[in-house]
A and B are shown apart, each in its own frame.
Chain A
Amino acid sequence: MLPARLSPQQLDPLAGVTAQAFAWVFVSAAFATAIGLTLVHRAEYHELPLLLGAFAALAAAGLIVILASSPRRAPFTGRAAAAIHLLCLAAVALEASAQWGTNVAVRSDWAPLALALLVMATGCFRPALEILAMTVVSAAFVAITTITGAIASDSALPTLVYAGLTAGPILAAGVGAAVFSVTLVSRLLRWRDATHGQRLVAVERMRERVRDDLRHERLTMIEDEVGPFLRDLLARGATDGSTAASARQFADQLRRALVDEADGVWLDGVVAELHDAAGLATRMDGTQRAAVEAACTALADRRTRATLERAGRRIRLVLVWERDGRGRLGPELQAMLRHVFPGARVQLRVRRVELEFDAA
């Protein structure tokens, strides 16, 4: 897939947590711009309800940016980005209506600038192509609105100049955000490619260690009793009355040991208490296991209990931890949990996380 179609948040979920701070900065800047320019050019506004409507639309757009960039709601969706554009365009239209015929200083229009600032916030989360496409459409709308407003205000200069003053910054912000996004994605992909070989070598090294350990365990298990028994039998060359009973006993012991190992659940050693009668923990893939394990490790001091059960066609994982003790489920872990269970329903509550994910 082209880097321009991938989002930075897809490839590096933790980057989304970093970017949340930027989202706050851009939203604050958008509001400061809107309030400041309105106060300085208050004489141009003659329809207070429309102006308040524009502020309400901007507030809604800012709220979406804040909520969508929150680790608790990761990832930032395309729908959220579209909503931001639509609400800001509503603000543009309402602001233009509030100063229809009296818009002397077109450069003082705050709604296009606020849109440009919020577009920049999406650069941390959304794919470059999507950012560009939405920006071009929004810039066109803003240009048309400005041109009609300039005509109504009987402006001195060609109306296209005014359109450039309002749509230009939006286009520039969109291109800047798209380049920011595609640069992050390209470098992340380059890092993945560059370290692929190292990771393979590390896995092979790990596999060798695991095999050595396992071989030692198996030999210990067999050479304890079964091996000597069979070797003695081979040396004697015949079975007697007690052979069948011994063979049955050794078979039962060996089978029990193997069944216990096959039934072992990885989550068992990670939480204080595990309720997983159907062995559903084995349905998580490696990445999901690592994220859940990291979450449980962070809460290790708070006696985490895990319950896995079927919820229709999905599997529900509930992690509950106690009030006492150190450790918490930080935003980076919340974002990671949401990221590694794509399409899952994730509910984060006080001392409790519920995840419903598709069974493999």
Chain B
Amino acid sequence: MSTALPPDIRSADADGQGGDWIFPLSETTATTRAALVSGASALSLVLLGVLACLGVLLTVTEPGSIVWWMPLALLPLAAGCVAAWRWEPIPVIGYVAIALAAIGAFVALTIAIAQSPAQAPAGTAGFVLSMTTNVAVLTGAASDRWTGGIAGALGGYALGEGTIAITAAFVGLQYRVDIPPIAIALGVAVGYAVVPIARARARRGTASLERADRRTRARRLREMEGRDSIAVLHDTLLGELAALAARAPGPLTEAEREGLAESLDSSAMLPLLRDERTAEVAGVGAWLVSIGAAGGLRIVLEGDVAALDAIADPAGSALRSALEQCVVNVARHAGVAEAWVVVGASPGELSVTVVDEGVGFDPGSVPHDRLGLSESVRGRVERCGGSVRLWSSPGAGTSVHIVVPTGV
């Protein structure tokens, strides 16, 4: 009969750490703002790059259709865009410099378009001036540190479109209302205005999630620490009480006195107690043999026994305590004089199988209140990320297969 024992506490959060899935409200404003500024600036720079490429293309393939220096007039806009993105904080003089650079670029571009036969018929609504006005809108929004981008977007539009209109009047370029930059300026302003509203809606749950996360983690730690101490109590006080319940009246032996005193000491230390009893014995294998001998059981060690000593805590202490309980179980219940402990080491994990040819039992019929296998063996091993499998049936002996991670 084979019984897989799935973990009830996942090792992934065995350290009780959490909380990194709830981004705090205090961080979201700056983060969203930084992302919007970066995104808008990148978009603007690509648009300017596309415009520059088109200008070069027209100059090369259709000489005279556009003035050759048009791509150069885009450079101040690109510089303003980078400044709005990377300059933090922007001083007043910085804003003046960015605005002057933009005004200069729009004056130059309007003159360039007025002198370009391929663009002039479209007036101020041609693609060059239209797209650069969009860039002014986005740059204005990115550089706005006061209204979250709303005034910046509208200001960028006003600056771009105003400069174009005035310059066009001077150079004789027909002024035409261009719808896309107006729509984009309004859209960006609305978008930036929506951010705080949308964020408030989304973050309503942040506080309750954070509280729930803290409660869950505290409960989780309580559960894990509590189960550790349940296992220790089972191995100490409950064991002593069971032995006393089965004992005939009479004087206590020295070993019994020591056992009782040790159990009382252990219980006083709960749940800080960590199993350190093996430190006094030369190796885990020898220690298991001594435990078996105390219960009249001969333990035969096989395989890579030295690997038992090499495994670090917490897996090491959990494995040692679990193996101790396995050996005690065989001595108490199996009705045999010999048991085998087989150790196998592989990269990343260590497996140990405790085998006896005793009376065996039906795992499905173990009373619910028996804590030996569930807490002292399975609970301990699974809390450190390991697993336990059990094979047993009446008359056919018992095998307990334990696997723990070694982290190698």
Contact = CB atoms under 8 A, between A and B. Distances in A.
Interface string B27-65: 110011011101111111011001101100110011001
Contacts of B35: 180-181, 183-184, 187
A13 B21 contact: yes
Contact of A215 (B47, B237, B252, B271): B271
Interface stretch (B97-105, B151-159, B255-263): B255-263
Nearest to A158: B61
A226 B221 contact: no
A234 B143 CA distance: 81
B270 to A, nearest CB: 4
Given A13-B21, A247-B244, A219 B216 contact: no
B241 interface: yes
B20 A199 contact: yes
B264 interface: yes
A254 B127 contact: no
The A interface is mostly helix, strand or loop, or mixed, namely helix
A257 B179 CA distance: 76
B31 A332 contact: no
Contacts of A213: 222
B8 A283 contact: yes
Given A287-B18, A336-B209, A18 B199 contact: yes
Contacts of A293: 212, 215-216
Interface stretch (A94-102, A160-168, A317-325): A160-168
Interface stretch (B106-114, B200-208, B282-290, B322-330): B200-208
A20 B202 CA distance: 9
Nearest to A250: B241
Interface string B269-303: 01110000000000000000000000000000000
Contacts of A172: 43-44, 46-47, 50
Contacts of A25: 187, 190-191, 194
A251 B241 contact: yes
Contact of A180 (B19, B36, B195, B216): B36
Given A259-B369, A286-B18, A168 B47 contact: yes
Contacts of B15: 203
B34 A254 contact: no
B222 to A, nearest CB: 5
A237 B244 contact: no
Interface stretch (B227-235, B339-347, B349-357): B227-235
A345 interface: no
A179 B221 CA distance: 40
Contact of A14 (B6, B23, B54): B23
Contacts of B34: 183, 187
Contacts of B61: 158, 160
Contact of B183 (A29, A165, A287): A29
Most A CB within 10 A of own CB, among B127, B203, B251, B257: B127
A261 B361 CA distance: 26
B366 interface: no
Given A210-B218, A238-B252, A290-B18, A261 B43 contact: no
Interface in A287-301: 287, 289-291, 293-294, 297-298
Contacts of A254: 233, 237-238, 241
Contacts of A173: 43
A294 B41 CA distance: 38
Contacts of B54: 161, 164-165, 168
A170 B44 CA distance: 12
Nearest to A12: B23
A248 B242 CA distance: 7
A345 B251 CA distance: 65
Contact of B39 (A183, A188, A256, A279): A183
B174 interface: no
B17 interface: yes
B20 A195 contact: yes
Interface string A109-135: 000000000001001000000000000
A81 interface: no
B43 A332 contact: no
Interface string A193-236: 00110011011001101110111001100100011001101100
Contacts of A245: 245
Interface string A273-310: 00000010011011101110110011000000000000
A90 interface: no
B134 to A, nearest CB: 9
B205 A294 contact: yes
Contacts of A348: none
Contacts of B227: 262
Contact of B205 (A120, A226, A256, A336): A336
B338 interface: no
A243 to B, nearest CB: 6
Given A21-B194, A173-B43, A211-B225, A251 B271 contact: no
Interface in B90-138: 118, 127, 130
Given A14-B205, A261-B230, A22 B65 contact: no
B38 A179 contact: yes
Contact of A244 (B216, B244, B264, B271): B244
B401 interface: no
Contacts of B127: 107, 165
B145 interface: no
B43 A222 contact: no
A287 B21 contact: yes
B22 interface: yes
Nearest to A280: B8
A120 B39 CA distance: 9
A40 B125 CA distance: 14
B7 A360 contact: yes
A153 interface: no
A214 B244 contact: no
B348 interface: no
Nearest to B46: A172
B16 A203 contact: yes
Given A29-B183, A161-B54, A172-B43, A258 B209 contact: no
B221 A176 contact: no
Given A214-B222, A290-B215, A290-B216, 5 more contacts: A188-B31, A241-B249, A283-B8, A287-B213, A291-B209
**Which 3 A-B pairs rank lowest in CB-CB distance, beginning with the nearest?**
A176-B43, A180-B39, A168-B50
19 contacts: A18-B195, A158-B58, A160-B57, A168-B46, A179-B43, A180-B36, A187-B35, A199-B17, A203-B217, A214-B226, A215-B272, A234-B252, A244-B244, A258-B233, A258-B234, A262-B371, A266-B223, A287-B13, A287-B213
